[in-house]
Structure 1
Amino acid sequence: MTIAMNSPVPPAGSTSPAPTGAVAARGVFKSYGSGETAVHALRDVSLDFERERFTAIMGPSGSGKSTLMHCLAGLDSIDAGRLWIGGTEITGLPDAALTRLRRERVGFVFQAFNLVPTLTAEQNITLPVALAGGSVDQEWLKQVSSTLGLTDRLAHRPHELSGGQQQRVAVARALLTRPDVIFGDEPTGNLDTATGAEVLSLLRRSSREMGQSIIMVTHDPIAASYADRVVLMKDGSLVGELEQSTPEAILGALAKLGA
């Protein structure tokens, strides 16, 4: 197991080059509450996520993995440190600019499919572009739909699709804008084993064949084994990482953390 090392934090306003990866964190702290009841969710977290790689974040309950993902995605603020998405620093970015950046350059795949029941699969896939007032790249839509096996399901509404097909629609929606990164929050948590494996395989293909950068939070060693890299957390800190690991190796590493 490789121990993760923190990188120096560039000072605010520094002219140092911005990180070139998909996402980066430097010296990030995050707490909830104050005084004796304060919960220190993130403690001096510095981490780089390379482009075109599939990374899983794991750790015991309360380790800070979900908080880290929310902060990296700009869904939650931080107390100290700096964050970048695709070379753009999001630390202190005004709400309107942050919302626009998330809409245009970040994709999300959640445990709940979050599809609009009255819209077709195609309309759900293209919804973020429609809300932004943009135009859909039809060739890219065809390629994504074909890659995810949705070509003959685009006219169906969510209730006419299986759970796996609905999650494929969610993945297609995340891919459509060619974002800098896709964040997955337990994306197979509501799926059976076979369907979950199918969706994880699609995420891995999205990274390897379509050049997508993916960061996934999961508690499942089998799910994490589909990733190129597994980052391990405990008590709000980075404690190690694994490359191209088996479920057994990941489970062993988690056992050492008390997970």
Structure 2
Amino acid sequence: MSAVASDVGLRTAVQARELVKVYGRGDTAVRALDGVSVAFAAGRFTAIMGPSGSGKSTLMHCLAGLDSVDNGQVYIGQTDITKLSDRDLTRLRRDRVGFVFQSFNLLPTLTAEQNILLGLELAGKKPDRAWYDTIVDTIGLRQRLSHKPSELSGGQQQRVACARALVARPEVVFADEPTGNLDSRSGAEVLDFLRMSVRKLGQTVIMVTHDPVAASYADRVVLLADGRLAGEINQPTADSVLSALKHLGA
């Protein structure tokens, strides 16, 4: 299966080649990924979708170096991360990748600003103040930087988590069901920010979601079914995504 690269002419930020991931052994083995090849363009917002058990979360975890693969390669930029040692993989995730999860993972005793800068501080790095100011203004929370998570709404907390993922200027941000714990209004705030980070800041975002409305914020949707690629949608709408999922039996 050839790599899917619909964004012709754009630099590839992340690429999977013939990925295979099997959980369990023998009769109980589950082939979560079955020869998946797909490319994600830099400076684009891509959503990964599929029915429950399709392999979408497994694919993201393998792309991000959070899970090992049984066969195939994953490239972030020009780096084959499947060949890295644990130490080098940890360094790559710290220096070149940002993460946003369904749970906000903010430290309750720290302010919003301290949470945003925590990763850089732990890495012994100083923030680029101009970049930091750009991110803070983009998330629209400058007046809330001194507040602790308990003083912020769910949507505001997730935007702080997004800012934390972006502040180190990663090559790619992986977002795993980032609106899963939010109401529709707060979810829209977070999705607006992710889309804005792509269009105004040039960020690359790859998001797993089960929500057709969330997927409609992306430039492109990659569809999985039974551990294999099942198509893609460019310039998706909620209706086009929902229709595609129905055909996949979601």
The normalised TM-score by structure 2 is 0.96
State how far apart, in whole Å, the 1-side matches of 2:171 and 2:130 are.
19
- Where in structure 2 are there 5+ consecutive unaligned residues? 5-9
Partner of 1:112: 103
State how far apart, in whole Å, the 2-side matches of 1:210 and 1:227 are.
15
For residue 90 of structure 1, what is the amino acid of its counterpart? I
Contact 1:20 1:87 in 2 (8 A): no
Matched, 1:47 2:43: no
Partner of 1:7: 3
Partner of 1:175: 166
Cα RMSD (Å) of the superposition?
1.3
Matched, 1:153 2:149: no
For residue 139 of structure 2, what is the amino acid of its counterpart? L
- Where in structure 1 are there 5+ consecutive unaligned residues? 9-18
State how far apart, in whole Å, the 2-side matches of 1:177 and 1:58 are.
27
Contact 1:207 1:213 in 2 (8 A): yes
Partner of 1:35: 26
State how far apart, in whole Å, the 1-side matches of 2:2 and 2:122 are.
38
Partner of 1:13: none
Contact 1:60 1:254 in 2 (8 A): yes
For the residue of structure 1 that corresponds to 2:150, the secondary structure is: helix
Identity of aligned residues (%): 64
For residue 226 of structure 1, what is the amino acid of its counterpart? Y
Q: CA deviation at 1:7?
A: 3.5
The normalised TM-score by structure 1 is 0.93
> Given the alignment, which residue of 214, 230, 234 partners 1:223?
214
For residue 27 of structure 1, what is the amino acid of its counterpart? E
> Given the alignment, which residue of 153, 159, 162 partners 1:162?
153
State how far apart, in whole Å, the 2-side matches of 1:200 and 1:247 are.
14
Contact 1:182 1:215 in 2 (8 A): yes
Partner of 2:204: 213
Partner of 2:242: 251
For the residue of structure 2 that corresponds to 1:91, the secondary structure is: helix
State how far apart, in whole Å, the 1-side matches of 2:183 and 2:37 are.
35
> Given the alignment, which residue of 59, 72, 80 partners 2:63?
72
State how far apart, in whole Å, the 2-side matches of 1:139 and 1:253 are.
42
Contact 1:104 1:177 in 2 (8 A): yes
State how far apart, in whole Å, the 1-side matches of 2:165 and 2:77 are.
16
Partner of 1:84: 75
Q: CA deviation at 1:159?
A: 0.6
Q: CA deviation at 1:175?
A: 0.6
Q: CA deviation at 1:137?
A: 1.2
Contact 1:230 1:243 in 2 (8 A): yes
> How many residues end up aligned between the 2 structures?
245
Residues 123-142 of structure 1 aligned to structure 2 (within 5 Å) = 123-142=114-133
Q: CA deviation at 1:20?
A: 4.8
Partner of 2:7: none
Tell me whether 193-202 or 63-72 shows the greater mean CA deviation. Answer: 193-202
Partner of 1:93: 84
Partner of 2:93: 102
Q: CA deviation at 1:173?
A: 0.3
State how far apart, in whole Å, the 2-side matches of 1:236 and 1:148 are.
35
Contact 2:3 2:39 in 1 (8 A): no
For the residue of structure 1 that corresponds to 2:217, the secondary structure is: coil
State how far apart, in whole Å, the 1-side matches of 2:193 and 2:218 are.
11
For residue 61 of structure 1, what is the amino acid of its counterpart? S
State how far apart, in whole Å, the 2-side matches of 1:152 and 1:126 are.
16
For the residue of structure 1 that corresponds to 2:54, the secondary structure is: coil
Per-residue displacement from partner, 1:143-179 (whole Å, max 9, x unpaired)? Answer: 1101110111111111111111101100100110110
Q: Which runs of 4+ in 1 moved over 4 A?
A: none
